[in-house]
Structure 1
Amino acid sequence: MTFKVLLQPSGRSFDVARDEPVLAAAIRQGVGLPYGCKDGACGSCKSRLLEGRVIHGAHQTKALTPAEEDGGYILTCCATPQTDLVVEARTVPGAGEFPVLKMPTRVSAIARPAPDVAVLRMQLPANLQFRYHAGQYVEFILRDGTRRSYSMATAPHNAHGGIELHIRHMPGGKFTDHVFGAMKEKEILRLEGPFGSFFLREDSTKPIVLLASGTGFAPIKAIIEQLQFKHSEREAVLYWGCRSRADLYLNEWAQEAAISMPRLRYVPVLSEPKPEDAWQGRTGLVHHAVMADLPDLSGWQVYACGAPVMVESAQRDFVARCGLPADEFYADAFTSEADKHGG
């Protein structure tokens, strides 16, 4: 049995199987809806249900509060229809543009630019045309069927059969313990993607704030490569927040990008610099540095990626205190498995 979902205001419609989440059906049929984690943790897919009934699967109350649910909001990633639906949701041009593929992938290189960060180079099948937008992510499918999501740090034109992923070690994490332990070059893993609606809106000419914390730098790096490749004339400022100097694991890359791209500025911000860092740069919370430099964001777009607390704080403060239009904040919150399960 299938139900029909009608999206407003776009007028697009698609079919959803009885036990299938709305978002999964949209991805399967190439319909571009906004989303992030696909797991009920980030709230990126929040939409308003205008007509019909859904049942929600497990999700976090910070992604959808009981009051929001009572007010008619749903999370498309974990809402399964009980009737035909009419849903008010922004469609994201390009989000469903490229087919989602499952593929084997080989570890071609492992680098450790910081003690708790691994940069993996993953070789893709030579006979496969894997297409994606800079900023999107892929999922490793582990042997037991569980999944781990990582943003691609490589713009599509630089992929040449391989993509770069930045992985932070989460001690006790099933996958990252393996990456930092037994993983060797030539290991083969299964991968699926591309996923996500976090990528550059190229139809805009607005100046851009690129806001990253920790390994949230990965998709921001891909977006910078894309801006450079397209010879973009848009002004862009990269703010990268980390705890200490060692955590700025591609600091030289970012400095060189700012030198080679006259429209790009780079502002690293450390929240807890160590005495041995001899840090002369900016300190504090990274989104506060943005607010200090750019108190009026009314004419800007923001692309934010990193820890959920940073993304949520930036979204709230930029809109409330800096005049950023709410629909010009694009985000990908890096929800870990612990975040997703509330502990």
Structure 2
Amino acid sequence: MSFNVTIQPSGRSFDVARDETVLAAAIRQGIGLPYGCRDGACGSCKSKLLGGRVIHGAHQSKALSEAEEAAGLILTCCATPQTDCSVEARSVPGLGEFPILKMPTRVLAISRPAADVAVLRMQLPANQSFQYRAGQYVEFLLRDGARRSYSMANAPGNVGEPPAIELHIRHMPGGKFTDVVFSTLKEKDILRMEGPFGSFFLREGDKPMVLLASGTGFAPIKALIEQLKASGSQRPAVLYWGARRKADLYMHDWALQAAAEMPGLRYVPVLSEPAADDAWSGRSGLVHQAVMADLPDLAGHEVYACGAPLMVDAAQRDFTAQCGLPAEAFFADAFTSELDKQTGA
């Protein structure tokens, strides 16, 4: 048994198998719906149910509250249709263009630009053509069936030879995957991964952009910057990268060099808790508030935000409520850890 789901206002229709979520069916059939975590934690796939009935699997209340559900909102990543349905959702042009592949990947190199950050270069298999958009992510497939998601930090035109993707991984003590990365993982080890996933990538246009990152949320933002440089884009962009201390700006020199080489790019690092030995004379405080201080009117901008869910949520709320940013001009990828999912943080 299957049900038909129609997306409005695009009018696209597709079949959803029994016990399949709306989003899983859309991804399988190359339908471009917005999404992030695929796990009921980030709320990026929140949509309006116009007709029909769905049931929700486990999800976090911060992603979809009881009041929102009562008002007809759904999370397509957790919603399983019980009838034919009509759903109002923004289409994402270009999403689904590249096939989602499962593949082996070999560790080419591991570096530690900060005590709790590892940069992995993962070699792509020669017999598969892995394609992605800057800003998307892959999932590592662990032996117990668990998955861990990480964004590509290099643009698709910058994979090098042999072709490899760059991933930035922050150590989460006790983490099933990151403990391995920071203890026993070594060059030439083989892992399995699947991708590309995610609807976070640059939209076409000429609006000035705010590129907003916290912590390792810098990874997909770095890929976007590489994409802008490779395309010769003239769009004005300003990178705001927030961290606790200076050492946490683990690619500070890279960002400085990118801004020096790209006339349209500015770089504003922001520390929330600078230490005395940082000798920091730059900006301090919350990174999204630094954006608001510099750009109180965001009505004509696009914002691309990546990092901790608290930062992303605060930026979306405050930019739209206080700075006039249109809701549809805010694109985000919240880095929700497994601990976040378990605690609802």
Normalising by the smaller structure, the TM-score range is over 0.9
For 1:159 and 1:29, the matched residues in 2 are separated by 27
Name the counterpart of 1:201. 203
1:178-217 aligned within 5 A: 178-202=180-204, 204-217=205-218
Deviation string for 1:308-337 (max 9, x for gaps)?
A: 000000000000100000100000000000
Shift of residue 97 of structure 1? 1.1
Aligned residues of 1:60 and 1:342 also touching (Cα < 8 A)? no
SS at match of 1:319: helix
Matches within 5 A, 1:1-343: 1-160=1-160, 161-202=163-204, 204-342=205-343
Which deviations, in whole Å up to 9, do the C-alpha atoms of 1:23-69 show, x marking residues without a partner? 00000000010000000000000000011110100000000000110
SS of 2:254 mapped into structure 1: helix
Query: Offset at 1:150?
Result: 0.2
Alpha-carbon separation, structure 1, partners of 2:33 and 2:216: 25
Calculate the TM-score normalised by the size of structure 2: 0.98
For the residue of structure 1 that corresponds to 2:130, the secondary structure is coil
Report the Cα offset of residue 342 of structure 1.
Answer: 2.2
Distance 2:31 2:99 in 1: 11
1:129 Cα offset (Å): 1.0
SS of the equivalent of 2:177 reads helix
- 1:341 partner SS: helix
1:128 CA displacement: 1.5
Q: List per-residue Cα deviations over 1:82-124 (Å, max 9, x = no partner).
A: 0011000101011211110000000000000000000000001
Q: What CA deviation, in whole Å up to 9, does each residue of 1:186-210 have, x standing for no partner?
A: 00000000000000002x1100000
TM-superposed deviation, 1:341:
1.8
TM-score by length of 1: 0.99
Q: d(CA) in 2 for partners of 1:103 and 1:96? A: 18
List per-residue Cα deviations over 1:112-151 (Å, max 9, x = no partner).
0000000000001012111111000000000111000000
Deviation at 1:159, TM superposition (A): 1.5
Instruction: Give the distance between the partners of 2:245 and 2:338, measured in 1 at CA.
Output: 24
Query: What is the deviation of 1:339?
Result: 1.0
Q: Which amino acid aligns with 1:59?
A: H
- Tell me how far 1:184 sits from its aligned partner: 0.7
3-state DSSP of counterpart to 1:104: strand
Gaps of 5+ in 1: none
C-alpha distance in structure 1 between counterparts of 2:7 and 2:37, whole Å: 21
> For 1:54 and 1:318, how far apart are their aligned partners in 2?
32
Contact 1:21 1:80 in 2 (8 A): yes
Aligned AA (1:319): T
The count of aligned residue pairs is 342
Alignment partners' CA distance in 2, 1:81 and 1:95? 22
CA distance in 1, matches of 2:275, 2:128: 46
Name the aligned partner's letter for residue 60 of structure 1. Answer: Q
CA distance in 2: counterparts of 1:166 and 1:13, whole angstroms:
37
Q: Which amino acid aligns with 1:100?
A: I
Question: What residue ranges of structure 2 are gaps of 5+ in the alignment?
Answer: none
Q: Matches of 1:116 and 1:341 in 2, distance apart?
A: 22
SS in 2 for 1:174: coil
